[in-house]
Structure 1
């Protein structure tokens, strides 16, 4: 394998000159620079990335921590982050915590040891607290989807409360008053805010909140399945159901199918997080959408700005949520009001 010494010998210069050409750290004449680059190509020399990162104090690597790689919402975010950062010469290291705070700690420590230039994270820690606050404050950080208390970082979220409010307002305008919810963990900002939007819409329409129709899941398919079955095996039954993420919505659909509860004749159903294939369901699913691609694009741009010190003060972006009405919601039958 050729070394920097081989390049220097072929061109007839010092290894320091070759290093200056590779790292662009000092002026080298255009003619000499071209000779060095030609020798690098001819010899098939590849500079040591670790050594270059020590010299430049940059690895051109961005860490991404997400909570569930199986969730298409997160994979869409990651795809867009990678699109944006790749154009600026950065690679990404993707870690999946699977909603496990211990894995999150280990991955953050590993990424810091790899000397990442920036980190984009959707935390698994509930109640917004984090045991690695000092380390997170020391790097170029962007938080997405969920908040981390005590860190004045760049952040981008969807309008969770507003999106949930739109969903419940839509159901109430269809005549529903018995509306259940399968919510996410209230220790996570996304879960707490969607539950708050549900409650506020009911309160604004002077509709009572029934505890038996409020179920708290963990954002995973299995909890959507089990909690929906639990809700619909005890009278009185709701006439509408709001499920606050796509994975739990899949579980809810499975449970309703097994219970032979028809959508929307027996139950109107709304999910948070729109997926491309929702429109192909029978019936197509009404959803609350906040674009994962836009979240990913904005997060990628934010972390690059932070790394390059183009912006000193933290920036917070809240993307609007939009209700997409499809055939899974309908007016409630008069006898069930």
Structure 2
């Protein structure tokens, strides 16, 4: 405990030490502290002693829900998604449900609406109800408060379409390769001003889509134009505004790549501007949906097997509940390119 310069203990309640404080004092990662405190068997004795000494020096006490380790399994898993209206999230949940049902589990489903406070409350409620595990599509996977909260949990966590270093099991689609493929396809058709409308980079999907887009343009010697990249929101309304702004430019893009869940917003913006697809705007969706398939013309898409990501995540969660202590796994589910009629060749390829 800290003391004042006079050597006396400061009066009044002192801030409670956190798992981050222990990690800093011991000079290790939060994940290592979590493994030591949860008595994992794959921690070196010297490292274990450093963590325990640091915890003792700081008088660290885990949250009450982390102390109440379950005496028996509930055969219930908590599932968190950021937007139930997104058809791609719904597919992932369907996959989770299929696998959990097959293995005799049920689940609680909660919608965070991309709100950090709401997500925090959901996680705490799942812990209070003592679910056996949690499968989460986090609103943001770079929020340190979220990371710390997950490390305090007494049950396994599997991330879906998100990553936090190598600290948790994670299942994701290949967003880098899929976006790279979409961009190269448009470049091969002669497009050079290609816009990107997708989610922000504070979650994995946005970061990897931007990476794939940037790498494809760079590989073809095309300069990345920041004015053509819109990554500021998650909703359909955001997509409408972002697409309207970029398509209203004096030198508008000839092609646009959009998150599958935002496709309807981009189509609305194109309609408002009386832009014909593909004659005036070529369009590719990152994630195939019924809307993409049923539109006329049909929308070319990168198809991800979201249901399979859900099934894999459920299998991983059940394996951890059963006592698996192997290092955290990362599973990447491949994509499929679906060519439809929404892209126009500007010049002969090659």
TM-score (norm 1): 0.79
Which residue of the partner structure matches residue 185 of structure 1?
A: 200
Which residue of the partner structure matches residue 262 of structure 1?
A: 276
Which residue of the partner structure matches residue 127 of structure 1?
A: 142
Unaligned runs of 5+ in 1: 1-53
- Choose which of 140, 144, 155 in structure 1 pairs with 2:160: 144
Which residue of the partner structure matches residue 90 of structure 2?
A: 75
Contact 1:142 1:303 in 2 (8 A): yes
Taking the TM superposition and a 5 Å limit, the aligned residue runs for 1:125-274 are 125=140, 127-131=142-146, 133=148, 135-136=150-151, 138-149=154-165, 152-243=167-258, 245-274=259-288
Secondary structure in structure 1 of the residue aligned to 2:298: coil
Secondary structure in structure 1 of the residue aligned to 2:268: helix
- Choose which of 59, 79, 104 in structure 2 pairs with 1:64: 79
Give how far 1:55 is off.
Answer: 8.8
Q: 1:234 to 1:279 in 2, by over 3 A?
A: same
Secondary structure in structure 1 of the residue aligned to 2:271: helix
Give how far 1:134 is off.
Answer: 5.2
Which whole-Å CA distance do the structure 1 matches of 2:78 and 2:111 have between them? Answer: 11
Which whole-Å CA distance do the structure 2 matches of 1:126 and 1:221 have between them? Answer: 21
Secondary structure in structure 2 of the residue aligned to 1:287: strand
Which whole-Å CA distance do the structure 2 matches of 1:319 and 1:186 have between them? Answer: 20
Which whole-Å CA distance do the structure 1 matches of 2:236 and 2:339 have between them? Answer: 23
Secondary structure in structure 2 of the residue aligned to 1:92: strand
Give how far 1:247 is off.
Answer: 2.4
Give how far 1:310 is off.
Answer: 3.8
Which residue of the partner structure matches residue 37 of structure 2?
A: none
Secondary structure in structure 2 of the residue aligned to 1:127: coil
TM-score (norm 2): 0.76
Contact 1:65 1:94 in 2 (8 A): yes
**Highest CA radius of gyration, 1 or 2?**
1
Unaligned runs of 5+ in 2: 1-68
Q: Deviations over 1:66-108 (max 9, x none)?
A: 1101111111111121111122221100010011111110000
Give how far 1:290 is off.
Answer: 1.2
- Choose which of 85, 99, 109 in structure 2 pairs with 1:94: 109
- Choose which of 318, 321, 326 in structure 1 pairs with 2:335: 321
Give how far 1:300 is off.
Answer: 1.0
Report the RMSD for the aligned CA atoms in angstroms: 2.0
Which whole-Å CA distance do the structure 2 matches of 1:55 and 1:163 have between them? Answer: 41
